[in-house]
Amino acid sequence: MLLLENIDVFYDQVQALKCINLEIQEGELVALLGSNGAGKTTTLMTISGILRPRDGNLTYNGYDLTRASPLGIVQLGIIQCPEGRRIFGGLSVLENLQMGAVRRKERSGVKSDLEMVCELFPVLGQRLHQNGATLSGGEQQMLAIARALMAKPQLLMMDEPSLGLAPLIVSEIFKVILKLHQQGVTILLVEQNARQALLVADRSYLLETGKIVLSGPSSELRVNPKVEHFYLGGSTA
């Protein structure tokens, strides 16, 4: 479905991604792990067309994304749920959700999808006319995910959905991620919380300073000594 081949990305003269090779099959949940500054968000921004690779190939269902516009990429069904939520604080919950669907050409399914996200996140259904800025951090993250779902993603890219949230809310967010995966949504999940991500992802990639240093089934990475020591805080037993 998505294929990155030998992708190099620079910020001016500083190389941020170095020969990245990554693939996602339809229906998979793939995690991209790594510490701050490893290049995780840069990878998502490159897939979204916000950053351009200097070298390499980027294809989606056989379509060349290397020079595609961000709008064109969204219209192909690649939707990013950004780090830091970035909801529209001055708009109501309902208006934020409607913004997610603004580029959809078919309007008939928007109402049913609105009902779907309110069922997925009941608190949003209770606060449709409340301004986004008045929601708690966890509720804002739920709204950010729901807004992305309103865009009808074929590939949903989630950037640090658990960042800054209380453990109980993190657990709820990951339950939703797992439920979406079980419903057949293809997901690329960027996460610092390696323990949680490795529990839900089919496969995972580990980034360090712009390079992929490990990849494979999440069940194997969970027991990899390097991953255990540096990202899971010791034994997973």
Over residues 82-91, mean pLDDT: 85
pLDDT beyond 70 at 170 = yes
Q: How much is the pLDDT for 187?
A: 97
Give the separation between CA 217 and CA 129, rounded to whole angstroms.
43
Find the helix or strand (DSSP H, E) in which 109 lies: helix 108-120
Q: How much is the pLDDT for 157?
A: 96
SS3 (DSSP) at 178: helix
Q: Give the DSSP letter of residue 72.
A: H
Give the separation between CA 170 and CA 208, rounded to whole angstroms.
24
Please provide residue 58's backbone torsions phi and psi, each rounded to the nearest 5 degrees: -135, 115
Give the global pTM: 0.91
